[in-house]
Structure 1
């Protein structure tokens, strides 16, 4: 095989890449490393501004695989129309679950136990005592039960929460219990103390958490978003936060990055992290393992993993 493979990680830093392809390093720079028409396997740069990763698409006439290093594919979907038919789009299932689930637990615990208040009190030299909610015995509703949602439940169980309630696009049964469809959310929301959003951003989930969704959440409930900012109607959420009825822990926002002066920064009962679920020390080794496995499959003409869709179908 003599086709080009574009990687956002220097190829000499990835041990075990299969021989055959010509590896090109490109991480979103202005200049392309070679003619995009010669690229057969394209790994999209990770955590770049909107539009960077899809910029080569119109010239990638020979590409066979587009591989994201994110679990979501919403950042590349607008450019798929520029690709030839038959291109496989693969995501990074297996790369981000541990890191994102870890941050989810950190956000829940920080919000419930009042960690941000303690940090501010420490800055003032103030001993801020009192009772805070515990995660133990809380009922947690996980909206979006793919690999990330399952990893979040894995980490919730040792904290002695009430049985986790799982929700996804369609109903199914898992080893841990049933997964409810989105259509049952109106009946499930009023019972949840913590609602975790880990669903992909699709046309079905864009704006899913609107004023009606939020109104059904119980007084004092915590909304945690580790999916995409556009899953939540920011204006509707601000109304609930400013009233003090709900609290929120947000790793993603709409808009994102959240600009200075945005009212979310100062909304009562709100913890914000800067889309930090995936980018951690866990990312790079898992991303490299994924790429070695996928490219070995590609070179040896074996089925690829994590295929989300095929263009033109």
Structure 2
């Protein structure tokens, strides 16, 4: 993994915990498997603890890693860290996606509540005019957070975590997900709808689908045009889900608002008009685990490693059957 991640992700206490169930071959992270020392360590390893910036375990690495039995990945997307050959070789894979879902869902919740209050456009107007106006905050017909309609695209780990966080609020929640059954939707107390209906009805749309070939550009010109004037699009998933040329056109016109933690490309070019728009909030991919939040991921993986060493089934295994639906 990237050594810059180590101080927050892998604390001295976590190292000591891992050392109680495993022999730690190295206490500092490797960036790749190309050096002689790295190859020697890889040949001895039963378990790899990987994270952001990890070199991919592919056929070349597997040829060296004759003992490898488990990859524990501190991240949500496992495909950048493990090639299909890993599963073909029967190596177990577990990931901390459920732990990373917590801060992303918290970020999305905060932005949904603020978007329904029109917080960001009002802030810009207030900063410019420096006086109150009537109505002071919302235009007539703006819902605030009582009875507003929130659309969630993707009942993923993050999507479901967000649904749980939304429950205490007086909101109507719509969900679009081809894998969500009617029974599950009822259990989650949400209304299952098509993407077209969700885009048309929602005051705020929050994206939580994985970045896959079939989801690329799923929020395009047609879907954006369906959104009501003044609606907000929140993207904490991946920029590739959205046609950014179409979105930019809508945002420049002022018809829609957006909170974009991810973009395509990432980052946007410095001359992108989105940086200067009062109806756009841009953050540099900060919704996911950062700082101390990464410790939740490391602790989950320590749990998984201890279960694996004890011969117990993994709770967060990523199986070959799941690869078509996860990033």
TM-score by length of 1: 0.81
Deviation of the 1:121 alpha carbon: 6.4
Structure having the higher helix fraction is 2
Gaps of 5+ in 2: none
Which residue of structure 1 lines up, in the alignment, with residue 276 of structure 2? 266
Matched, 1:64 2:69: yes
Are 2:103 and 2:288, in contact at CA under 8 Å, matched by a contact in 1? yes
- Match for 2:188 among 176, 182, 201? 176
Aligned pairs for 1:271-282 within 5 A: 271-280=281-290
CA RMSD between the two structures: 3.2
**What do the CA deviations read for 1:247-291 (whole angstroms, capped 9, x no partner)?**
111111111133322232234511112211123456233123212
Distance 1:296 1:34, change over 3 A: same
Deviation of the 1:208 alpha carbon: 1.3
Aligned pairs for 1:112-123 within 5 A: 112-117=116-121, 120=124
- Match for 1:73 among 78, 81, 89? 78
Which residue of structure 1 lines up, in the alignment, with residue 51 of structure 2? 45
Distance 1:117 1:194, change over 3 A: closer
Q: Which moved more, 1:33-42 or 1:150-159?
A: 33-42
Which residue of structure 2 lines up, in the alignment, with residue 3 of structure 1? none
Are 2:76 and 2:96, in contact at CA under 8 Å, matched by a contact in 1? yes
Distance 1:306 1:155, change over 3 A: same
Which residue of structure 2 lines up, in the alignment, with residue 222 of structure 1? 232
Deviation of the 1:142 alpha carbon: 0.6
Which residue of structure 2 lines up, in the alignment, with residue 12 of structure 1? 12
Distance 1:11 1:266, change over 3 A: closer
**What is the rounded CA distance, in whole Å, between the counterparts of 2:128 and 2:217 in structure 1?**
39
Distance 1:103 1:11, change over 3 A: closer
TM-score by length of 2: 0.78
**What is the rounded CA distance, in whole Å, between the counterparts of 2:244 and 2:105 in structure 1?**
23
Are 2:74 and 2:297, in contact at CA under 8 Å, matched by a contact in 1? yes
Deviation of the 1:104 alpha carbon: 0.7
Are 2:251 and 2:279, in contact at CA under 8 Å, matched by a contact in 1? yes
Distance 1:179 1:298, change over 3 A: farther
Gaps of 5+ in 1: 1-5, 47-51
